[in-house]
Amino acid sequence: MKHSFLVLLTFIFSLSAFAGNNNDLFGVKTIVIDAGHGGHDGGCQGSQSQEKHVALSIALKLGKYIEDNFKDVKVIYTRTTDVYLKLWERAAIANKANADLFICVHANANDNKKALGTETYVMGLHKSEANLNVAKRENSSILLEEDYKTQYSDFDPNSPESYIVLTLRQNAFLDQSLSFASKIQEQFTEKVGRKNRGVKQAGFLVLHQTNMPSVLIETGFLTNLEEEKFLISNIGQDYMASAVFRAFRDYKLEIEEKTRVENVVEDVKEEEEIKEVIKEEVVDKKEKNKKKENEVGIVFKVQIATSSIKKELTPANFNGVENVALYEAGGLYRYTVGNERNITDANRLQLQLKEKGFTDAFIVAFKDGERISLSEAISQ
């Protein structure tokens, strides 16, 4: 009897958690698709193609797939025609829209005409010269911007040192970006039969200022005759766009599912304990008022667990971690650590907590005690 009561209770909690997903804090609701290059920036060249056209065709097809299949997702394009945009303008569009995901579509080139395959980049320090070279080529678009020295604080696309400072801001989204990137590569390889060159990291200027998970897709080599033929064909572009669409679908599901049942602690509680929780609520409210002072303004915390039934905030319940705090959202109890004033400190704390076994720990943001999106917090 007790058991069925709990099942019912969990069911109700799950339902309300699901309803909470309509809140854009807890889902993938706005995405920005960025077709690389455009206008007088043609990108790389094939024997009969220009990167800017290939990128735009695939980007538009991808957007259409998402619009047709997800009525709850708003798709924003940085460009829908052959126009020139500066790299910083592309990131600014995504930040302004408070997007949940930023997808840049490009095509590759190499002096070695035999090079072929797809690679998906996330922001990070390059591990090989080849990755750096791709970033350098894509970043060289800024040389077409008359004021690039002021816009990118003297960034020199050809100097390796310039790349080290780029990666910081995107660190907070690295896990999500990597997850999406690997889904894209998997789809390209398994469903479209492209050669998998892997998920890679390098310093792309277009990614370094975005406040959300971001990837840059190199859909293939225009300098490879076979691959160029595929990438400029209508069917080839359809295949590539649908592959990214499926990766997006799986990523969205993963993020929203994760938010709903993140680390759900499957504690079997007795009814007595649930009554106990109700008593605690009263004490909790008093505590809350006390805490208010250090919650004024923007605060970053690291979320380590979620449960449908309230857990006591003792270190024993959280692998020995002290000062765990609690907030409620979407019908679930969410446990956090820290009260950091900037994202760098929150990143550091997240790493420490991962080392303590909370491998899925992620950063959440609050403004005056109310949960807000991470991108909103970072942009303030």
* Chain contacts with Zn ion (rule: CB under 5 A): 36, 43, 106, 138
Q: Which residue is nearest to Zn ion (CB)?
A: 106
Supply the minimum distance, in Å, between the C-beta of residue 318 and Zn ion.
Answer: 45
User: Which residues are CB-contacts of 78 (< 8 A; sequence separation ≥ 6)?
Assistant: 32, 33, 34, 35, 85, 89, 90, 93, 94
**Nearer residue to Zn ion within complex by CB, 106 or 260:** 106
Supply the minimum distance, in Å, between the C-beta of residue 282 and Zn ion.
Answer: 59
Cα(153)–Cα(267) distance, integer angstroms: 52
Supply the minimum distance, in Å, between the C-beta of residue 244 and Zn ion.
Answer: 16
Written as one letter, the residue type at 56 is: L
Supply the minimum distance, in Å, between the C-beta of residue 78 and Zn ion.
Answer: 13
**Nearer residue to Zn ion within complex by CB, 138 or 262:** 138
Cα(265)–Cα(311) distance, integer angstroms: 9
User: CA neighbours within 13 Å on the CB side: how many for 25?
Assistant: 16
Place of tokens 């999106």: 373
CB 330 within 8 A of CB 16: yes
**Nearer residue to Zn ion within complex by CB, 119 or 138:** 138
Supply the minimum distance, in Å, between the C-beta of residue 62 and Zn ion.
Answer: 16
**Nearer residue to Zn ion within complex by CB, 29 or 106:** 106
**Nearer residue to Zn ion within complex by CB, 205 or 324:** 205
Supply the minimum distance, in Å, between the C-beta of residue 230 and Zn ion.
Answer: 17
Cα(249)–Cα(13) distance, integer angstroms: 25
Supply the minimum distance, in Å, between the C-beta of residue 300 and Zn ion.
Answer: 33
Place of tokens 């126009």: 83
Supply the minimum distance, in Å, between the C-beta of residue 105 and Zn ion.
Answer: 9
**Nearer residue to Zn ion within complex by CB, 222 or 346:** 222
C-beta atoms surrounding 69 within 10 Å: 12
User: Which residues are CB-contacts of 367 (< 8 A; sequence separation ≥ 6)?
Assistant: 297, 298, 299, 376, 377, 380
Cα(110)–Cα(223) distance, integer angstroms: 6
User: Which residues are CB-contacts of 201 (< 8 A; sequence separation ≥ 6)?
Assistant: 121, 122, 123, 124, 125, 126, 127, 131
Return the bridge partners of 307, or none: 333
**Nearer residue to Zn ion within complex by CB, 28 or 35:** 35
* CA-closest candidate to residue 296, choices 341, 248, 347: 341
Residue 85 burial by CB count (10 A; 0-12/13-18/19+): exposed, middle or buried? buried
**Nearer residue to Zn ion within complex by CB, 139 or 170:** 139
**Nearer residue to Zn ion within complex by CB, 13 or 204:** 204
Supply the minimum distance, in Å, between the C-beta of residue 36 and Zn ion.
Answer: 4
**Nearer residue to Zn ion within complex by CB, 43 or 338:** 43
Q: Where are the beta strands (DSSP E) in 222-356?
A: 298-307, 324-329, 332-340
Written as one letter, the residue type at 258 is: K
Supply the minimum distance, in Å, between the C-beta of residue 360 and Zn ion.
Answer: 33
